[in-house]
Amino acid sequence: MANYCSNSVVFSANETTLEKIRALFEEIELKQHEHGRYYLPDFIKKEGGYMRDIIVNKSRISFETRWVPNTETLMEIADFYQADFTSRYNEIAMGIYGETRYDRNSLIMVTLDSEDFRAIRYDKQKNGYPCGEQVFEYEGDLLDYMLDQKILINQVNRYTVQRD
């Protein structure tokens, strides 16, 4: 049985295009329920990018994938609709926690690594997960914070590299 990776994606495009993308995800979910098997549109060439439990709202699309995020499938959807996206995903049991940004010219992936996960400790005295001066009540909040810090460092490093 597969472990499921939780995904959320925010596409960037004009509103007409965003409506088409939302309709596509709604169609995928509907066809999967109707036929009892995974479904992806014909323009998707990468195999295995299946999604389940798709939830579509105005600003975000959430879904589950098997084991890992389906970044290549999201890239194919973005390319088809000429859109960009930012996706967050996690499968804690496998040590997968990250964010991908795609703008059709570049793909930037920032992930937590095994060293990051080993650094997480619950402190009974502080009644939470300490990180620097902060204490997080929930492990997920700490993981989000750690990922956000890595993203900031990645942006600074990219900026520094571009300036040289």
Range of the domain at 126: 112-164
Please state the domain count of the chain. 2
Which pLDDT score, from 0 to 100, does residue 1 have? 57
Domain identity same for 17 and 86: yes
Tokens, residue 62 = 């959430």
Residue spans of the chain under pLDDT 70: 1, 156-164
Domain identity same for 56 and 124: no
Domain identity same for 32 and 92: yes
Domain identity same for 5 and 60: yes
Which pLDDT score, from 0 to 100, does residue 156 have? 60
CB 41 within 8 A of CB 34: no
Quote the pTM value. Answer: 0.87
Which pLDDT score, from 0 to 100, does residue 84 have? 97
SS3 at position 42: coil
Which of 62, 87, 104 corresponds to the end of one domain?
104
Which of 63, 87, 104 corresponds to the end of one domain?
104
One-letter amino acid for residue 1 of the chain: M
Which pLDDT score, from 0 to 100, does residue 155 have? 72
